[in-house]
Each structure stands twice: as structure tokens, then as C-alpha cells.
Amino acid sequence: MPVTQRFGEGHRILVSGGAGFVPSHTVDALLARGCEVVAIDNFITGSRDNVAHLAGEPRFTLIEADLTEGLPPLPGRFDAILHMASPASPTDFTKLPMEILKVGSIGTMALLERAVEDAARFLMASTSEAYGDPLVHPQPESYWGNVNPNGIRSVYDESKRFSEAATMAYHRFHGLDTAIVRIFNTYGPRMRPDDGRAIPTFIDQALRGTPLTVQGTGAQTRSITYVDDLVRGILLLLDSREPGPINCGTEHEITMLDLASLIVRLAGSDSPIELVERAPDDPEKRRPDLTLARQKLGYEPQVGPEEGLSRTIDYFRTLSNASQ
């Protein structure tokens, strides 16, 4: 396996968006390896609660700052910078368009500059949205995608594509040590019930006994990944010397109608399913081609949908019990 380094004890890592869902799990995994971690977050979609369990951890620092207003003072050198900050739910695409564009452009450039100064490895959290509404299935990294450049999803899709372009330009021009992970739909504990994405929405509805709002006919598919699998993939990529995009996800492709039924069953709910209007430009299908992740990283997802969704439902139950 071509792994050439291992980030752990003695390494200092900067994580942007560190109080978010995926980033906070990544922070936990880095700390578990012995790294020192500094997280920057403005809490626009994340929460201090996601890292509350790290209070008193001497190797963890949380800094409240908006990346798009220039980096706050960050003394000392970082060995790696993980750029994970960005609102990511399609409901944010209309609520926070400027914030998404800025964090994917100004925020990305600020962190790339810092990575050059520190000679740090720079890992950028990209997305399966880079493929838009794909005409190739499953999607290999070599596919350039089918993105509407000015539709309602474009603020997110294009800012991630810009971030990829910027990352590769810094790699080519400055010789920066880079990595790009194209993340497919990931779910798990610490997602917000009002996040707007399908899985937290369906779980919240199933636990409340209200109808599950499946958009369109529900025949559209996604391939769903439990957060622990994604974080393992991210760390494998971080440890590698792979500079360009690598898909990370699973081949658990499921229609939204089947996903809603599965969540109803696993939650022991009697909620009905209601078909509602579908958002424009919603991708029809999505499944990663994992060949590169397997070959280059030795990545293999381990958590199936029933297990991952059950764990997530349990987490949402603890949230609703706590609020009663």
C-alpha cells in the first residue's frame, strides 16, 4: 500500500469548520491518533455542542472566526490543514449563497496561502456535487460532471469546483502537497434535525410521527455513507501522497422512497410517506466509483445502511429526549 506518512503524535493540524458534523468527527479521529488540533469555526451551520466533549483536552483549541474575513492569528506551524468549512445542505444554497461562495473562494485561498507558508499538507473537502447531475454512472474521478453553472445549486457546486481548481493550481505552481476528497452523501450523529438534508429530515419526521416528505417520485438515488467510514477514508487520504481528487463514499445506492421506508422501519415509526415538490436541478442518481480509493488508499467502507441509520436514529432519540 503506497502510504508514505502517518499523521499522529507530534503533528499539528488546522481544521476549518471544525465544529461541524463531518469535521468534528475528523477532529476526534485526529486527536485519537495523538495529533494537536486547532479548529476554526464561525458556527454558521456548526455548533459548539459538537466539540463540547473536548473541553479540557489540552491538544484541542477551538477558535471562533469567519475564514472569509482573513485568518485569525494562528501562531506556530501546521503540518496539515484540512479545509472542511462550508455550509453543505441544499437548503443552505438558497439561504446562505454568499457565505457559500465566499468560504469556497476567499476562505480556500486564505488557507492555501497559509499552507504554502507552513509547507503543510492541504486537504480540501470537495463533494460529489462536483459531478452535478451526472450523465456517467457510477462517477469516476475522471468524469468532468454535468453542472448547471448558474442554477440554485451552482453557488455550492461551483465554489467547490473553484476550490478544487485553486488547490490544483497551488499544487502545480507552488509544489504544495495537496489532497482533494470528493465526499458522497454522509450521515451520522451530530447532524442537525433541521439541517434540511434527506436523512436527518426523514429521521426527525419518523421520530415525531409526522409524514416523511419525499421529493418528486422518490426514484432519485444517493449512495449513503456512515460518517465513521468517511473519516477513515479522509485520514487514509491525508496519510497518502495523492494530490488530486479521490471519491470517498459507499456503493450503498438507494432511492429516496426506499430510504424513507427503511428509516420508518428502523425507527419503529408509523409515519406515512408524502410525495412533495422536488427542488430544481436535483441530481437523478449518484454512486461513487471507488476504484481509485481502493487502489491508492486501500479504502473499504465497513458500515452498512441498517447499522449506520440505526446508530443515527439512536442519536436523534437522545436529542429529542434531552429537549423534553
3-state SS track over 8-34:
CCCCEEEEECCCCHHHHHHHHHHHHCC
> According to the binding rule CB under 6 A, does residue 107 interact with ligand NAD?
yes
Active site residue 226: no
> According to the binding rule CB under 6 A, does residue 17 interact with ligand NAD?
yes
**DSSP calls for 97-142:** HHHHHHIIIIIHHHHHHHHHHHT-EEEEEEEGGGGBS-SSSSB-TT
CA distance 204 to 182: 27
From residue 5, give the alpha-carbon distance in Å to each of 23, 79, 176, 235, 241: 21, 12, 16, 11, 8
Q: Do the bridges between strand 36-41 and strand 60-64 make them parallel or antiparallel, or are there none, so unpaired?
A: parallel
Size of the site for ligand NAD (CB under 6 A): 29
Q: Which does 105 bind (CB under 5 to 8 A by kind): ligand NAD, ligand UDP, none?
A: none
> According to the binding rule CB under 6 A, does residue 220 interact with ligand UDP?
yes
- Tell me which H or E stretch contains 179: strand 178-183
Q: Which does 167 bind (CB under 5 to 8 A by kind): ligand NAD, ligand UDP, none?
A: none
Choose, from 131, 143, 156, 226, the residue flagged as catalytic: 156
> According to the binding rule CB under 6 A, does residue 256 interact with ligand UDP?
yes
Q: Which does 198 bind (CB under 5 to 8 A by kind): ligand UDP, ligand NAD, none?
A: ligand UDP
CA distance 306 to 250: 13
> According to the binding rule CB under 6 A, does residue 88 interact with ligand NAD?
yes
According to DSSP, the residues that pair with 41 across neighbouring strands are 64
CA 50 to chain centre: 15
In angstroms, what is the minimal distance from the CB of 10 to ligand NAD? 26
Among 14, 15, 19, 206, binds ligand NAD (CB under 6 A): 19
Among 12, 241, 278, 311, binds ligand UDP (CB under 6 A): 278
- The closest alpha carbon to 120, from 198, 205, 14, belongs to 14
Instruction: Check whether the bond before 138 is cis (ω within 30° of 0).
Output: yes
Q: Which does 101 bind (CB under 5 to 8 A by kind): ligand NAD, ligand UDP, none?
A: none
Q: Which does 282 bind (CB under 5 to 8 A by kind): ligand UDP, ligand NAD, none?
A: ligand UDP
Residues that bind ligand UDP (CB under 6 A): 90, 185, 197-198, 201, 213-215, 220, 222, 256, 278-279, 282
Which residues form the catalytic set?
Answer: 156
Residues that bind ligand NAD (CB under 6 A): 16-17, 19-23, 40-46, 66-68, 84-88, 103, 107, 125, 127, 183, 185-186
